[in-house]
């Protein structure tokens, strides 16, 4: 079983308008609401690809009830911890004329300390029986970077591979805790390292303790770095247009699926080298095929075709 942990879930609402004009009144068809948050999106992708998955999250309030109803209907196995703070909402307003999406994310309400402890203990307990764990998304108020770091260290110490996709202080804490893999995008990486060059920034996270870093670069593909080998760059020869929300989650799903096979990505064997290449290829193809879909957590059926189109190249660095 692959465990996905969504510390800061959201009820994801999507509304379509003809054209979004600030200050104007718009009529919109009935919108859709789905259980969301990055970890839930990762679970959706893995579940749809046939992986045995368990989505752990919190729920609270009326939004939480709607979150739970939708998650149950989706068929994704889940474990929900009831909290007093209402589940926050996230709204995607899709401008059907410009093909542009405007996103509003509620910050959410702080978790009570006892609920933070329950959430961390449940994640640790379930993680010990998992083949791999994905910890995705922002930290809710009340759940600090030090608590994230402790959870990552406990799981990695017990031998469970852990992929972390978060930003800010949580990303640094996960690196220091020795996360098996980190998946920042280039902006998140630049923000925490102060480096515009993603290769330099990713090396900082490896130096802090991360075992592998995948940096997603939007239309420019992605980078895969570990401590011992030349970085890999993967990309598609053509640009796909669509909804970028959820592309990073698809990349996390790809890393987690590869790690769940038990392969050690940082090794020197031919098998390890092939696994790193496979990871770069699949991460790129899954990200790209997520862009083609209207909702986060879905892959276009073209992902297998796209995987064959991906080019993976080692980057020869000038180390002089």
Where does this chain bind a second copy (CB under 8 A)?
A: 15, 17, 20-31, 62, 65-66, 69, 86, 88-89, 91, 93, 95, 98, 100-109
Of 26 and 125, the one with the shorter C-beta distance to a second copy is: 26
Whole-number minimum distance, CB 64 to a second copy, in Å? 11
Of 15 and 150, the one with the shorter C-beta distance to a second copy is: 15
Of 1 and 91, the one with the shorter C-beta distance to a second copy is: 91
249 classed as catalytic: yes
Residues 6+ apart with CB under 8 A from 182: 163, 164, 165, 171, 174, 175, 205, 210, 212, 213, 214
Whole-number minimum distance, CB 83 to a second copy, in Å? 14
SS3 220: helix
Of the residues 18, 249, 268, 278, only one is catalytic, namely 249
Cα torsion 130, 133, 139, 145: sign: positive
Whole-number minimum distance, CB 71 to a second copy, in Å? 13
- Indicate the DSSP class of residue 218: G
For 234, counting Cβ atoms within 10 Å of its Cβ (0-12 exposed, 13-18 middle, 19+ buried), the class is buried
Q: Which of 251, 298, 275, 262 is nearest to 76 (CA)?
A: 298
Whole-number minimum distance, CB 34 to a second copy, in Å? 13
Of 46 and 80, the one with the shorter C-beta distance to a second copy is: 80
Beta carbons of 167 and 191 less than 8 angstroms apart: yes
Of 108 and 198, the one with the shorter C-beta distance to a second copy is: 108
Whole-number minimum distance, CB 169 to a second copy, in Å? 16
Helices 198-208, 168-176: inter-axial angle, 10-degree rounding: 50
H helix intervals, 129-220: 145-157, 168-176, 186-193, 198-208
Distances (CA, A) of 201 to 138, 172, 189, 198, 251: 20, 11, 6, 5, 19
Q: Which of 222, 174, 177 is nearest to 198 (CA)?
A: 222
Kindly list the catalytic residues. 249
């Amino acid at each position: 079983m692959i465990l996905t942990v969504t510390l800061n879930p959201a009820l994801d609402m999507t509304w379509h308008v003809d054209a979004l004009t600030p200050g104007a009144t718009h009529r919109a068809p009935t919108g859709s609401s789905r259980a969301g948050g990055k970890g839930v999106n990762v679970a959706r992708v893995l579940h749809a690809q046939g992986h045995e998955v368990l989505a752990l999250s919190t729920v609270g309030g009326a939004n939480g009830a709607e979150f739970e109803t939708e998650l149950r209907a989706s068929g994704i196995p889940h474990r929900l911890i009831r909290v007093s703070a209402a589940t926050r909402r996230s709204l995607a307003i899709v401008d059907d004329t410009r093909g542009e999406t405007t996103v509003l994310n509620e910050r959410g309400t702080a978790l009570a300390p006892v609920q933070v402890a329950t959430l961390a203990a449940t994640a640790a307990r379930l993680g010990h029986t998992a083949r791999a764990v994905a910890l995705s998304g922002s930290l809710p108020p009340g759940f600090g970077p030090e608590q994230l770091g402790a959870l990552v260290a406990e799981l990695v110490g017990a031998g469970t591979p852990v992929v972390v996709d978060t930003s800010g202080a949580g990303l640094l804490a996960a690196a220091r805790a020795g996360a098996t893999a980190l998946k920042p995008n280039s902006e998140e990486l630049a923000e925490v390292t102060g480096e515009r060059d993603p290769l330099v920034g990713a090396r900082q996270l490896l130096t802090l303790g991360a075992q592998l870093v995948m940096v997603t670069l939007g239309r420019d593909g992605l980078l895969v770095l570990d401590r011992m080998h030349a970085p890999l760059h993967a990309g598609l020869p053509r640009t796909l247009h669509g909804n970028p929300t959820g592309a990073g989650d698809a990349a996390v799903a790809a890393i987690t699926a590869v790690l769940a096979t038990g392969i050690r990505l940082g090794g020197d064997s031919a098998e390890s080298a092939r696994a790193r290449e496979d990871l770069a290829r699949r991460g790129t193809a899954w990200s790209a095929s997520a862009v083609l879909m209207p909702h986060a957590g879905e892959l276009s059926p073209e992902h297998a075709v796209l995987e064959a189109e991906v080019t993976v190249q080692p980057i020869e660095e000038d180390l002089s």
